[in-house]
Structure 1
Amino acid sequence: MQLGTRWSVGGSAPASLPEVVAYAVQTVEEELVATDVETTGWNWTLTWLEAKPVVTLDDGTEIRYNAQEDSATITQPVEVDTSDYDEEEA
């Protein structure tokens, strides 16, 4: 059994992460900086699911590791934009 951990955005990721997952975390953080997202107080949460790391950011962004391919998949939350098209016409 592996225990998870939390760390701040911009902090050092746990050394136990596969290199490709640590790179994915870095990529997400670079995108946040490039788009001027305020991340003060945001944290990453590392949990282990079936001995594979799952990393979740406070905004809902999730990074999952595929051991067979040694790859990481980043899934970002979808912002719902309610517009006039979503409303029924009277």
Structure 2
Amino acid sequence: MFGILLSAFNVVLGFVVRSIIARFFAYFVMYFITTEFVAVLQSAGILPSASALTGAFGGIGSDVWYFMDLCAFGYGVPLLVSAYATRFIIRRIPVIG
């Protein structure tokens, strides 16, 4: 009787270790690499800084800003840029991409 319970416990423990804990560590490593990759890009100067973007958008006239505000440029462009950056980073992960 004790051998059957020990065998069942061993099967359950094996399932937990293989499927739950291993996946948790794999996804944690992928998340950590992704977030650190963005920080490395920012520190290397590949991504534009806030002052460079301010200078670029400072040259846009008020008539163009009116239509950009009408089309929700301030909400849509950061949304698209983050979506494209996330897609780019996820495609570089060997398991997912």
TM-score, normalised relative to structure 1: 0.26
More helix by share: 2
More strand by share: 1
TM-score, normalised relative to structure 2: 0.25
